[in-house]
Structure 1
Amino acid sequence: MPRTEKTRNRIWWAVVAVLAVACLGVVAWLVPTVSSHRAEIFFDTADGAGAATSGEPAEGPVGALPSDAALPDAAELGRRVDEVLAGAGGSAVGAQVLDVETGQPLYSRDDAEPLAPASNLKVLTALSLLSHSHPEDRYRTESRLGAAPGSVTLVAGGDTMLSDGASDPADVMGRAGLGDLAEQTVGSLERRGVEGPQQVRLDASRFSGPALNPAWSPEDLALGYATGVHPIALWDHHTARPQFPEDVSGRPADAGLDALNAYVTALNAAAGDSGLSFSAAPDPRQLPAGDADGARLGGVSSATVLEQATYMMENSDNVLAEVLGRNAAIAAGEEGSLEGGEAAIRRALAEVGVGVDGLVLEDLCGLAPGNRVTTATLASAMAAAARGDGPVADLPGTLPVAAGSGTLADRFDDPAEQPAAGYARAKTGTLLEVTGLTGITTTSQGRLLAFSLLVNDLDDAGAARDALDTAVADLSTS
């Protein structure tokens, strides 16, 4: 792609050393490090899915930008954004734009008004996850000897992207496979001289509270936008590998039991002529006393926390957000529940100095209609991540690229929106009467901005999305 007609001093910000955002082998976008010119958009082909990670938390991109880059003219920027947002059509519009380096507000519109965020709420879930976990942490699914004679227990460890077969080291989905775990389990039992029929139970005690959130509408559940949340599942809470990342069809009635039954099938396949046979226990979640003390038989590890967070943000995956929010709660010392996830989010925001006035959390993914958050909280959280260091600095790199990846792949295509293509990264959010964008972009002078734009009570979703995309383009050209 050629450079713009007039060579300008447009600076690329660095979010991660190398980010491959492709899934299933499609084209990935690589964000270059800062140079003296904001260069062309680069393409590469990913050999596997998920973000490439260095093993160390990222450093915030603001430190790599020129410290003398000029701030946009706030009055002119406000005039342009006001004009664009007038076409958004909603009766409630909130917006905040911050200079990341200084935290200075450059534009505000009802930024203290709590609004429904839709999936913009996932920004807070991801912040919590990265705040309380190391990006290279993994979730481990294990098997152990049961306390009852002739029994094996499958132990849920928070990985809900398991495959029913072999582990795939090149993919986020199915990085850990129950087929491999079954082979390890059978091998361990044989070495112990165990023979005969074995009953298999499931330890799903990692999560607590109801699997189904009563705040979710029956219609959304029927369509598969959400389902019962379990600490173990095949294929991201699907009955088979989804055909594409945003596929919400094929939800199991009980993802935990679905995984248990797949494990039993894999155990019997691995047993061969060993003299072992396996069946699910009549009440498989009922564990006898002392079961947790059983000897470990095998274990398989998930994709990294950062890879799963990127998958969740790229594809706006509601159920994975609920899982990762609960995993974040456990990492923070809370219960693996909705309430624990909320507490972990509030703690993560406090740790980076972000206020929570007006924050109401009915879920951890943004699907519940009663969620409320201000654009001040969302923009401040994004700015804190972008200028920080440590694990939260990885947050901007999990976001879709404008016109390039994930839920933004088909956005920013109109002429007025194209200046942000490849430069802005943002989390989308869409409900029937809600749309929003929260993310970061650089100005024409290389100044890094964080923004959050929410529209509620809209009557034309397409017009509202176009208005938000154009507003972000105005930030990019300011």
Structure 2
Amino acid sequence: MSDQQPTSKSVPARLRGAVAAARRSAARRPVPWIAGGLAGVLVLGSGGAVAVAAATMPSRPVAAPSTSAAPRTPASTPRATRTPSAAPTADARAVPDETTGPKALCTCTIDDAASAAGLGSFEGFVMDAETGETLFSKDGDEAAQTGSVMKTLTSATALAVLGGDHRIPTTVTREADGTIALVGHGDATLSAGGGTVYPGAPTLAQLAQQVKAQLGDAPVTTIVADDSYWDDADAWDPTWPENERTIGYQPRVTALMVDGDRANPSAATSPRSTDPVGRAGAAFRTALADAGVAGAADAQVVQRATTSTDTIASVSSQPVSTLIGQMIPNSDNTLAEMLARVSSKESGAGGSAASLTGVYQDALAGYGVDPAGIAIKDGSGESAANAVSPSFVAHLMVRVAAGEEGLGVLSESLPVAGVSGTLASRFTGANAVARGRVHAKTGWIDSANTLGGWIDAADGTRLTFAFYAIGSSRAAALPALDAVTAATYSCGGDLTSS
């Protein structure tokens, strides 16, 4: 406030100064927007002039009253007046001379798209990544099944627990009397050779050559296949449909396997066996024989924990950052389960499926998001018993989109609408407007289709979001999810919930 008394300047000039002061006051104490305007009375000095000003949002300019009206002339006989308090000084910014009236608040809604029948029981949440403002929420705080959007949480957890440079080893130990052990530590990319969906993966041939160099002409009579790095008693979640294994989307989750236990190592979707550990042992026997290890072709394969710490051969996976880059675009369930279990084991939680909720909560809290209430049954999102709210996903995606805390590799791996990964063929027709602007992880299980990530909207606003279509068919859900996402892109920062 100024210490100066009012001067003899004209009433309109004083009025403009008062309006400018009111604008500054509104910026400090926002006034709710009321359609049609809320009248406020300003009494200016001894002249008794009265102006009516409409209340507006603080971010919208307040129009000055018209200067075309002649100022009211004071009466010739002076009236007794109280000494006015110090008047506010005028804002340094120019005030328009013409009355333009209050501007309407820009709004945009996605309510119609979010009500589409194809979305089934819909949950959704959208926020401004820069300001943190919630722009849309439809049951956004309700924890629900995520589908493969879960893989974004798995990636963030692995990066927090293991780090992007961590590599997963597979070793061979030497026991007595011609016995060696192939010891798994969770690397599902270990390859038997003859093709792989994981470029750069380590191979059994590399291990076999190291074994040959160590043993020379000494024979091998027994090969131990050791998957005891974690307990394989919960290798298959009871909520997973069995056909996920037989069709080829999901293996049994064991710490030792080769080629993700695929029947065809070169095919991402390929039937998996009921005994990935035994299959790995048999493949290693073949690799040893091919490397010229004496007796290997006839060696017995047994499954148990090794009794030795004498390591004679070792290979390692690609870095975790590379594994995430291989997992996210094609939604690889195998890598997701491996990263989840290895994260649990390396954090000291044992590697069981039952430990995952606590492991994820501890890791994700480090990104500044509140993980209370999430329930994690697996790393891939395959289980309908997983429970994570769209709001949580959207808040995590703020960090992902910014590439903070080492999350840049996840951001760069997300499929892009109409361009890459599982979104390459999506966002067609009217929804093509958002092609190239939506970076998101898809999710699909029998009971839900989901999408979560970030959007560079039409007006330049960066939004983060998660949308769940629960209970509808995939054929109906996908175009409906694309439509509500494209509508969000078009609204941008003007998006509001009804």
Q: Tell me whether the two structures share a fold, i.e. TM-score over 0.5.
A: yes
Verify the 8 A CA contact 1:163 1:173 in the aligned structure 2.
Answer: no
Q: Which amino acid aligns with 1:196?
A: P
Partner of 2:487: 474
Q: Which amino acid aligns with 2:303?
A: P
* In 1: Cα distance, 2:356 partner to 2:105 partner: 37
Q: Which amino acid aligns with 1:457?
A: G
How much has 1:277 moved relative to structure 2? 3.4
Partner of 2:129: 100
User: Structure 1 unaligned runs (5+)?
Assistant: 1-72
Q: Which amino acid aligns with 1:204?
A: D
Deviations 1:74-104 (A, max 9, x none): 9734x1x212111143442111112222322
Q: 1:299 to 1:435 in 2, by over 3 A?
A: same
Greater C-alpha Rg: 2
Matched, 1:277 2:296: yes
Partner of 1:76: 107
* In 2: Cα distance, 1:349 partner to 1:312 partner: 19
* In 2: Cα distance, 1:350 partner to 1:419 partner: 35
Question: Which stretch of structure 1 is more off in the superposition, 252-261 or 383-392?
Answer: 383-392
The match for 2:367 among 352, 364, 367 is 352
* In 2: Cα distance, 1:285 partner to 1:331 partner: 21
Partner of 1:417: 431
Verify the 8 A CA contact 1:442 1:476 in the aligned structure 2.
Answer: yes
1:243-392 equivalent positions in 2, closer than 5 A: 243=267, 245=268, 247=269, 249-271=270-292, 275-277=294-296, 279-281=298-300, 283-288=302-307, 291=308, 293-294=309-310, 296-387=311-402, 389-392=404-407
How much has 1:183 moved relative to structure 2? 0.8
Deviations 1:253-276 (A, max 9, x none): 21122111111111011116xx45
* In 2: Cα distance, 1:461 partner to 1:429 partner: 10
Verify the 8 A CA contact 1:163 1:174 in the aligned structure 2.
Answer: no
Verify the 8 A CA contact 2:178 2:221 in the aligned structure 1.
Answer: yes
Q: Which amino acid aligns with 1:450?
A: T
Verify the 8 A CA contact 1:359 1:374 in the aligned structure 2.
Answer: yes
Matched, 1:161 2:189: yes
Matched, 1:462 2:491: no
Specify the SS of the correspondent of 1:314. Answer: coil
Deviations 1:83-133 (A, max 9, x none): 211114344211111222232212111111122211122221111111212
Q: Which amino acid aligns with 1:153?
A: A
* In 1: Cα distance, 2:105 partner to 2:424 partner: 29
* In 1: Cα distance, 2:194 partner to 2:119 partner: 49
Verify the 8 A CA contact 1:174 1:235 in the aligned structure 2.
Answer: no
Verify the 8 A CA contact 1:396 1:440 in the aligned structure 2.
Answer: no
How much has 1:427 moved relative to structure 2? 0.7
Deviations 1:206-259 (A, max 9, x none): 22242111221234344333231112222222123133x3x1x22122112211
Matched, 1:229 2:244: no
Verify the 8 A CA contact 1:98 1:450 in the aligned structure 2.
Answer: yes
Q: 1:450 to 1:287 in 2, by over 3 A?
A: same
Q: Which amino acid aligns with 2:215?
A: L
Partner of 1:206: 229
Q: Which amino acid aligns with 2:320?
A: V
CA RMSD of aligned residues (A): 2.4
How much has 1:185 moved relative to structure 2? 1.0
Q: 1:266 to 1:109 in 2, by over 3 A?
A: same
Partner of 2:157: 128
* In 1: Cα distance, 2:127 partner to 2:409 partner: 19
* In 2: Cα distance, 1:386 partner to 1:350 partner: 17
User: Structure 2 unaligned runs (5+)?
Assistant: 1-103, 493-498
Verify the 8 A CA contact 1:202 1:284 in the aligned structure 2.
Answer: yes
Specify the SS of the correspondent of 1:76. Answer: coil
Specify the SS of the correspondent of 1:401. Answer: coil
Partner of 2:456: 442
* In 2: Cα distance, 1:329 partner to 1:396 partner: 23
TM-score (norm 2): 0.72
Partner of 2:420: 405
Q: Which amino acid aligns with 1:76?
A: T
* In 2: Cα distance, 1:342 partner to 1:82 partner: 33
- Percent of residue pairs bearing the same amino acid type: 29
Specify the SS of the correspondent of 1:266. Answer: helix
Specify the SS of the correspondent of 2:302. Answer: coil
Specify the SS of the correspondent of 1:390. Answer: helix
Verify the 8 A CA contact 2:357 2:375 in the aligned structure 1.
Answer: no
Q: Which amino acid aligns with 1:250?
A: P
Q: Which amino acid aligns with 2:223?
A: V
Q: Which amino acid aligns with 1:302?
A: S
The match for 1:140 among 157, 169, 188 is 169
* In 1: Cα distance, 2:407 partner to 2:345 partner: 17
TM-score (norm 1): 0.75
Considering Cα pairs closer than 8 Å and 6+ residues apart, tell me whether 1 or 2 has the greater RCO: 1
